[in-house]
């Protein structure tokens, strides 16, 4: 009887070890892909500032690919919402606005009062023609912190459009 319980305990510990190893490997792989994405995004930003547009485009696409690979791994990664901002910015640079908007919204779930996410959602939604979403996002953002000067004209236009829409539904 004692032998059987020792064998059962050994099997249980083996399964526990294998499960934790799998989880740890996936967490590490996810973190490595996120670090790769952040590095490619940083290189793209530097290339863009120096006027090397083709190199910047390649690096933005590389950042998006690294993000997509990292999303395949299941694991624990605290504060991943910061990576959602970089991923959203990368998607936006390659012209995939819907994917960028999804990243920003997922990041906002982790950090609901982030000015960066709120303004990014607002500008991305505006570019997609989703003016109501852009208005509400920028409205929440401006209630937390005053808008950047570059967004004031967009904000005024959205405010007028929202007022017109509310008058036409009455």
pLDDT in tens, 65-100: 998 888 887 766 666 778 899 999 999 999 999 999
Lowest mean pLDDT among 51-60, 68-77, 103-112: 68-77
Does pLDDT of 170 surpass 60?
no
Report the candidate in 113, 91, 86, 109 with the shortest Cα–Cα distance to residue 101: 91
Token pair 């967004």: residue: 151
Q: Rg for the chain (alpha carbons), in Å?
A: 22
Torsion of CA 57, 61, 67, 70, to 10 degrees: -130
77 by Cβ neighbours in 10 Å (0-12 / 13-18 / 19+) ranks as middle
Q: What is the pLDDT of residue 76?
A: 66
As a whole number of angstroms, the distance between CA 67 and CA 86 comes to: 9
């Amino acid at each position: 009887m004692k032998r059987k319980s020792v064998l059962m305990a050994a099997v249980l510990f083996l399964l526990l070890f294998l499960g934790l190893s799998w989880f740890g490997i996936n967490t590490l792989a996810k973190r490595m892909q996120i670090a790769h994405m952040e590095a490619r995004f940083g290189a793209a930003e530097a290339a863009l500032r120096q006027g090397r547009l083709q190199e910047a485009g390649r690096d933005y696409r590389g950042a998006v690919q690294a993000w997509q690979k990292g999303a395949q791994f299941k694991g624990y990664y605290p504060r991943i919402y910061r990576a959602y901002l970089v991923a959203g910015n990368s998607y936006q640079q390659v012209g995939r606005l819907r994917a960028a908007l999804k990243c920003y919204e997922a990041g906002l779930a982790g950090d609901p009062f982030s000015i960066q996410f709120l303004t990014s959602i607002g500008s991305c939604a505006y570019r997609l023609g989703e003016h109501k979403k852009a208005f509400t996002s920028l409205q929440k953002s401006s209630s937390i912190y005053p808008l950047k000067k570059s967004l004031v004209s967009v904000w005024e236009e959205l405010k007028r459009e929202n007022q017109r829409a509310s008058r036409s539904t009455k």
